[in-house]
A and B are shown apart, each in its own frame.
Chain A
Amino acid sequence: MGWKRGGRQTDGETRSIDRNALGIGIATGAYALSFGAISVASGLSVLQTQTLSLFMFTGASQFAFVGVIGAGGGAVIAIVTAMLLGARNSLYALSLGPVLSPKRTAIPVTALLTIDESTAMALRYDQSKKASRRAFFATGISVYVFWNIGTLFGSLGASALSDPGILGLDAAIPAGFLALLWPRLTGGSSSENRKMWALAVTSAAVALVLIPFLRPGLPVLFSALVAVAASLLWGKTSRPIEGA
Chain B
Amino acid sequence: MWASILIASFGTYAEKLLGYLLPHHMLERESIRRMTGLLPVSLLAALVAVQTFAVDQAVAIDARLLGLGVAVVALLLRAPFLVVIIVAAASTALIRWLGWLP
Contacts and interface: CB of A to CB of B under 8 A. Distances in A.
Nearest to B28: A94
Contact of B68 (A52, A83, A171, A220): A171
- Among the interface residues B36, B47, B85, B94, which one has the most CB atoms of the partner chain A within 10 A? B47
- Among the interface residues B10, B36, B67, which one has the most CB atoms of the partner chain A within 10 A? B36
Contacts of A56: 8-9, 12-13
A64 B72 CA distance: 20
Contact of B57 (A85, A112, A211): A211
Interface string B21-55: 11010011011011111111111111111111110
A31 B89 CA distance: 14
B42 to A, nearest CB: 4
A90 B27 contact: yes
Interface residues of B, number: 75
Contacts of B33: 91
Interface string A97-113: 10000100001101110
Contacts of A31: 81-82, 85
Q: Is the interface of A mostly helix, strand, loop or mixed?
A: helix
Contact of A171 (B10, B11, B80, B92): B92
A156 B66 CA distance: 27
Interface residues of A, number: 99
A63 B23 CA distance: 31
Contacts of B17: 93, 107-108, 111
B8 A65 contact: yes
Given A58-B16, A87-B36, A167-B89, 20 more contacts: A30-B82, A56-B12, A79-B4, A79-B8, A111-B16, A111-B19, A166-B96, A174-B47, A174-B68, A176-B81, A177-B44, A177-B51, A178-B44, A178-B72, A178-B75, A184-B40, A208-B49, A211-B54, A219-B50, A223-B43
**Lowest 3 CB-CB distances: which A-B pairs, in order?**
A93-B19, A171-B67, A168-B92
Interface of A: 27, 30-31, 33-34, 43-44, 48, 51-52, 55-58, 60-61, 63-65, 67, 69, 71-72, 75-76, 78-79, 81-94, 96-97, 102, 107-108, 110-112, 114, 165-182, 184-185, 196, 199-201, 203-208, 211-216, 219-220, 222-224, 226-228, 230-232, 234-235
